[in-house]
Chains A and B, each alone.
Chain A
Amino acid sequence: MSHYVPSRDLIARVAAGETAATARLITRAEKGLPEARDALAEIYKRAGRAHVVGITGVPGSGKSTLVAVLAGKLRTRGVKVAIVAIDPSSPYSGGAILGDRVRMTELATDPGVYIRSMATHGVVGGMARAALDVVDILDVAGFPIVILETVGVGQDEVDIARASHTTIVVSAPGLGDYIQAIKAGILEIADIHVVSKCDRSDANFTLRDLKASLMPSPASGPSPWIPPIIGTSAVKHEGFDELIEAIDRHRAVAFDPDAGNDRRRHIAGFRLLKTAENLLLDRFAASVDNRAAPLIALLARREADPYSLATELLEPTNAEDKSR
């Protein structure tokens, strides 16, 4: 019914800042459509200016609320802001309820703000691949800062936060999430620590515990970045000037031709490997379809072991030779 606009034709409209075109190309990037691939290649070449800020922390730690206030403050300084909020899908149905926008209603009709909700199962060809393609599209659409909100549990989400120029880890009082964060290993990926909800009296404990746990860290490299700890209250709008100052300072480091080099290489390497990994999985899934059935039958009858059969599955030529 509706006519299909080729992805290539969307690029100029994205670059002109047209919201509907930007949103549509993002949809196609999420779907991993082969048709969109060369458009995304062009987007990649044009991108590279936006500062990508990952915000992670356990559910309920106040990330969305923080992002809304942070974006509002950036808007008063005249900066356009894009926000990508990633939430887990239900493992049972594959569907998701994405409610982060409810916390961001004050930004609802500001044309200088773009908000996109993504579900982890809502993408094809890997979450990290999709998220970073989406970031590039928003970069080309003219957003100098792209904020990626991810839930700080699950390897994929943590990886995405790490693939940002600046990673902010949010801890909050009253969730016991300080312990959880350590367990999930996310505290050590922080460039900036935020303790949210500092209007609550028990936030002092969270601040104290965090400081204690981060204390002795041997200096590494010539000019080591020491992650600051910043207390914020989204309710009282406190701590946000300090937070923006820290984000700006870290941006300068991340974009510095020398100091930021390692980080940029790390991000590029991560992206290359993730993309290759997803390509491999796709090809494997496509090639394996018919050949797996007889091997599965052997395995179910316990006539061969899983390791041998998996090896055979991966080396079809050898297996064919043998069967001759």
Chain B
Amino acid sequence: MTQPIRILLAKVGLDGHDRGIKVVARALRDAGMDVIYTGLHRTPEEVVTAAVQEDVDILGVSLLSGVQMTVFPKILKLLANQGAGDMIVVAGGVMPDEDVAALKAMGVAEVMLQETPPQAIIDTLKRLVVERGPR
């Protein structure tokens, strides 16, 4: 029996709806993953604390409010400070191409823009966990 992938999904920022992230959560559950959902309007500190306590394989952070270039550096730094620098971080939402490139350069494993179909998200997440290896 293989172990389910554990992923924490969080919504950071002020934008007020969670329909999209809930659709993703259900798709991941239906693909056999354990999805920890933390609700709306989370701060980077809350998200990182939760992800470290839950020891998830993947931390998925979605944002629509254009704050990605401040939020992700903060998250990566907090993870490293808390001894979890090896956690896979993925981003979701809407952002310009140059931000995608910048996020990947700083250590975000993958950026999935808003129109990414669920199956593509699932395949990407599975690949990232395989590439990481046992932990």
Contact = CB atoms under 8 A, between A and B. Distances in A.
B49 A122 contact: no
Which size class do A's interface residues fall under? 35 or more
A102 B38 CA distance: 5
A95 B4 contact: yes
7 contacts: A1-B133, A93-B30, A99-B37, A101-B38, A101-B39, A102-B38, A115-B50
A20 B133 CA distance: 18
Given A2-B133, A21-B83, A124-B3, 9 more contacts: A1-B131, A1-B133, A19-B83, A94-B4, A95-B32, A98-B37, A105-B38, A108-B49, A122-B3
Interface stretch (B52-60, B69-77, B90-98): B52-60
Contacts, number: 105
Identify the 10 closest CB pairs spanning chains A and B, nearest first.
Answer: A20-B83, A23-B55, A95-B29, A2-B86, A102-B39, A108-B46, A95-B32, A27-B55, A119-B34, A98-B36
Contacts of A115: 50, 53-54
A90 interface: yes
Contacts of B4: 89, 94-96, 119, 121-122
A116 interface: yes
Contact of A102 (B37, B43, B131): B37
Interface residues of B, number: 37
Contact of A109 (B1, B46, B83): B46
B126 interface: no
Nearest to B38: A101
B89 interface: no
B24 to A, nearest CB: 11
A4 B134 contact: yes
Contact of B45 (A1, A26, A99, A109): A109
Nearest to B22: A97
Contacts of A96: 4, 29, 34-35
Contacts of B134: 4
A95 B35 CA distance: 8
A7 to B, nearest CB: 11
Given A2-B135, A31-B3, A98-B35, A93 B29 contact: yes
B111 interface: no
B132 A97 contact: no
A45 B83 CA distance: 26
A115 B36 CA distance: 12
Contacts of B28: 95
Contacts of B54: 23, 115-117
Contacts of A101: 36-39, 50
